[in-house]
Amino acid sequence: MTGSQSPMRTRFAPSPTGALHFGSVRTALFAWLAARHTHGQFILRIEDTDQERYIPGSEALIIETLRWLRLEWDEGPEVGGQFGPYQQSLRTDTYRAHAESLVASAHAYWCTCTPERLGAMREEQRARSQPTRYDRRCLRRQEEVAAERAAGMAAVVRLRMPDGRTEWEDVIRGALVFDNTEIDDQVLLKSDGFPTYHLAVVVDDHLMEITDVIRADEWIPSTPKHLAVYAGLGWRPPRFAHVPAVLSPDQHKLSKRRGARNVLEYGELGYLPEAIVNAMALLGWSSGTEQEVFTPAELCEVFTLERVHPAPAVFDPRRLDDLNGLHIRRMDADALVDALEFHLPGTSKDVRRALIPMLQERITTLVDAEHLAAPLFNRPEPDPNVPFPPRNVDLATARRMLDACIDAVEHGGLDGTEAVLSRLKAEAEAAGAKPRDAFRVLYVAVLGAPSGVPLDQAMVFLGKEESLTRLHAARTRLSVITG
């Protein structure tokens, strides 16, 4: 099924500027899926060439996030690989050498213009409704520049953007064309000796033998620069797939600045990694069939970049809720017992196993389990906000239901809950009440709320003694009421 495509080497190359959010992880997921689909390799590379924006600890955070989601990388930090190192800050000599090679072949040049001059230049261009581009002043005075550099003046290496047009076939968007006169002579090597993204990304992708560059569509306008670097170095460029942005419900692009949530937080909120993967895959991608629920393995099987929709997508958390519930219901009991360990702290495996039949089909997130199971661990206090007797149930019926339940449990026990339930149902009907209403009395009595896990299973879990204690307490509450 996947044999027709040659193996792809893809990479995810985040900069360590903070935690990963849905947008960035979705890009990583697409790259991972494309590699897995073709039985190729997925590489993780840290793009830490900007010392000013570096945030300590974020590399560890990125690694933890990817591991939690099971997006395992074949090469990269902590796992190594033959093309390392996989942190750009450790590769500065390589970039410098390539920058100098580009200068030597006249595809790039040194520039000593100050930031002040550059700013003034752009301001002027803007005032004249011109595109803002470097005016190539230093290109015309290379001997002076050489002297200035020799004298210790700060200098950068700029790409000499060739004339003509740049075209490429984007895997997701098809033919893309740029007029090179619109493209700036990009700085490739900063005066601090570090490369810019534009140099490092090309050098690394080539040296690491990346076949398909999968990245956010904000990179489309600078792709011509990258293609020019490939050409200048005499390299064959990879394929490009520019994936659309993920938007928040207010239609804005997800970003750290706007408070996009750290993906790891979703784990604490009770979401399963496989549900998150499923939800992210559906943001911008569809299988073309009517299947919507996928395991990660199924996604690897059917995912192709060609089926990624080019429009930006709004992330709807309700969809994630739905998928999370569906994945929880599909889990086998043992897996759920393990997944619940974090959210039902202090419980034994056996206790959690006993809880599964009550919880599995009625929780959306794992944290829901905590709330649903709470009355099974701690006897609920009467809550003034919970009407008792419940609405639509008169006092006489409520008393009658409780008496019947107490009698059934005392004499019949909890071994045959079927019998208990049918007796209670008959009792409700005899009292002229709908079972729907009458049973709420018992739910409030046993669980402290008019709804919750199934009554019979709850009582079995609590045991005969505790069940009777709660039923009697409720009966007493009713006795005090006059009427």
126-165: contacts with RNA (CB under 7 A): 126, 129-134, 154, 156
Identify the residue among 5, 7, 53, 97 touching RNA (CB under 7 A): 53
Pinpoint the alpha helices (H) of 216-344: 223-233, 263-268, 273-281, 296-302, 317-330, 333-339
292/301 with CB nearer RNA: 292
Q: How far is the CB of 482 from RNA (least distance, A)?
A: 27
Identify the residue among 123, 182, 334, 410 touching RNA (CB under 7 A): 182
259/346 with CB nearer RNA: 259
Helix, strand, or coil (residue 67): helix
Q: What is residue 75's DSSP assignment?
A: B
Q: How far is the CB of 262 from RNA (least distance, A)?
A: 17
Identify the residue among 192, 334, 383, 410 touching RNA (CB under 7 A): 192
Identify the residue among 49, 65, 278, 467 touching RNA (CB under 7 A): 49
Nearest by Cα to 312 from 179, 217, 400, 204: 217
Do 216 and 12 touch, CB atoms closer than 8 A?
no
Report the site for RNA in 339-358 (rule: CB under 7 A).
none
Q: How far is the CB of 139 from RNA (least distance, A)?
A: 14
Q: Give me the residues paired with residue 11 across strands.
A: 43
Do 233 and 29 touch, CB atoms closer than 8 A?
no
Q: How far is the CB of 348 from RNA (least distance, A)?
A: 24
Q: How far is the CB of 398 from RNA (least distance, A)?
A: 14
Cα distance between residue 114 and residue 154, in whole Å: 8
Residue 291: other Cβ atoms inside 10 A: 10
Q: Does 256 qualify as catalytic in the annotation?
A: yes
Identify the residue among 232, 267, 273, 325 touching RNA (CB under 7 A): 325
Cα distance between residue 242 and residue 220, in whole Å: 7
Query: Which of the stretches 90-98, 142-150, 161-169, 195-203 binds RNA when contact is defined by CB under 7 A?
Result: 195-203
Identify the residue among 32, 42, 194, 388 touching RNA (CB under 7 A): 194
Q: How far is the CB of 362 from RNA (least distance, A)?
A: 3
Helix, strand, or coil (residue 404): helix
Tokens linked to 314: 């709004």
Residue showing tokens 């071994």: 415
Cα distance between residue 266 and residue 257, in whole Å: 19
Cα distance between residue 463 and residue 448, in whole Å: 16
Instruction: Spell out, one character per residue from 259 to 298, where the chain touches RNA: x when CB under 7 A holds, - when not.
Output: -----------------------xxx-x-x-x-x------
Pinpoint the alpha helices (H) of 38-174: 58-68, 92-104, 115-127, 142-150
Report the site for RNA in 369-398 (rule: CB under 7 A).
none
The active-site residue, picked from 253, 256, 425, 434, is 256
Q: Does 187 participate in binding RNA (rule CB under 7 A)?
A: yes
Give the residue numbers marked as catalytic: 256
